[in-house]
Structure 1
């Protein structure tokens, strides 16, 4: 599918999964026209990474415009997260071919993640999956793909909670339970703003040969 059609399909899928208070925008990481603004550069990054980074910032500015905010540079903070304008928070995700951004007001939470719909390497299962998550997948012929989907769900939940907790989490800090196209991310440890057992709710779909997971609230 041509890039513009793929991006339109991604935007439509994300829009359907998010409340109207969240602005959504996409960009093509392969487009050479994507240019980072001053303060946004990654001087030591390879060209591919620079393009992905610039695409994310370009889409972020488009999302800001939807919320009535002027275009501005979005530098990376010491924690490597984007520094959003006061009163706003957002999430940026990209693969080699697609980039998606969601931005909302800080009273809300949002986390988005895109992952190629490929199996998760068995070498990563013990790193990414808790024992109970592995137990659920046992014997399922689609387990390697579902493991990748759980990975994506944890990434989306991590991004959503980080705006509030400012805490780096290991994968075992969240337990993912799927119910068709929705999932619950349960905290397995105390985190600023979240006690053990607190949950975040997310949604998932497959679009353009990618897993798309979104947490909002």
Structure 2
């Protein structure tokens, strides 16, 4: 199985029954011809070639996933808020990393977000930007602090994408705290809790998912609760949640 196929299969395993994922190489020899539909191309009119290539690859992967769901391949234009405008009845998410674009879709259900990231330590200079006090002290077998930071970063990116369809809010990294659960050498569970209300989601709302280490990459998927009230913990308040930085999430993939 190719690296791209392994990554797609890992995301499908994280998403459970009904979710399909497709991964395509970006601009590499043998990569598919990822032409954009006119309504998609308008968003890339001023983009540099590299950004246009990753955007086109993500849309190509999304259309492949639609066909695997038994639906006709349709354009996925960009909304004014930069989120994908999915065809009616579909939930989806797109991520890009180091030459690969991945799209995951399912029919209906709760919103979700995916993120793919290098399985390498996050730069030390970014730790205080993305993590709350104590958030990087969680034990993960075989991981140093930099690797835990990478996983926390990726989980927040994916959870941000999961909350955006209902809240429409751009959140900073300090808006969530990640718990790493049931860890093993190649994967585990994740919970991201909101530190404060976001649209219909109350403080303490849990976005749940997991991670897999696939080759040189992490694959992460986080899901919103089925209803805004379902994932909320009454009276929840996080202590020491404020990270020193005010960086915003979804810096790499928009809100795909």
> When the two structures are superposed, what TM-score results if normalisation uses the length of structure 1?
0.90
1:146-171: CA deviation from partner (whole Å, max 9, x where unpaired): 10111001011111111222211111
Residue in structure 1 matched with residue 252 of structure 2 by the alignment: none
1:101 corresponds, among 97, 103, 107, to: 103
Contact kept, 8 Å, 1:175 with 1:188, in 2: the verdict is: yes
Matches within 5 A, 1:14-163: 14-30=11-27, 31=31, 33-41=33-41, 42-136=44-138, 142-163=144-165
Residue in structure 1 matched with residue 209 of structure 2 by the alignment: 202
1:186 corresponds, among 161, 175, 193, to: 193
For the pair 1:11 / 2:8, whether they are aligned, the reply is yes
Q: Paired residues, what number?
A: 212
1:88-117: CA deviation from partner (whole Å, max 9, x where unpaired): 221000112222111123432221000112
- In structure 1, the gaps of 5 or more residues are none
Contact kept, 8 Å, 2:12 with 2:21, in 1: the verdict is: yes
Cα offset, 1:67, TM superposition: 2.4
Cα offset, 1:23, TM superposition: 2.1
Residue in structure 1 matched with residue 241 of structure 2 by the alignment: none
- In structure 2, the gaps of 5 or more residues are 225-256
Bigger helix share? 1
The 3 A distance-change label for structure 1 pair 206 and 141 is closer
Contact kept, 8 Å, 2:137 with 2:145, in 1: the verdict is: no
The 3 A distance-change label for structure 1 pair 141 and 160 is closer
Cα offset, 1:34, TM superposition: 1.7
Question: Which sits farther off after the overlay, 181-190 or 121-130?
Answer: 121-130
CA distance in 1, matches of 2:213, 2:98: 16
Contact kept, 8 Å, 1:104 with 1:110, in 2: the verdict is: no
Q: CA RMSD in A?
A: 1.8
Contact kept, 8 Å, 2:130 with 2:153, in 1: the verdict is: yes
> The residue matched to 1:80 in structure 2 has which SS?
coil
CA distance in 1, matches of 2:164, 2:91: 10
Residue in structure 1 matched with residue 243 of structure 2 by the alignment: none
Contact kept, 8 Å, 1:89 with 1:163, in 2: the verdict is: no
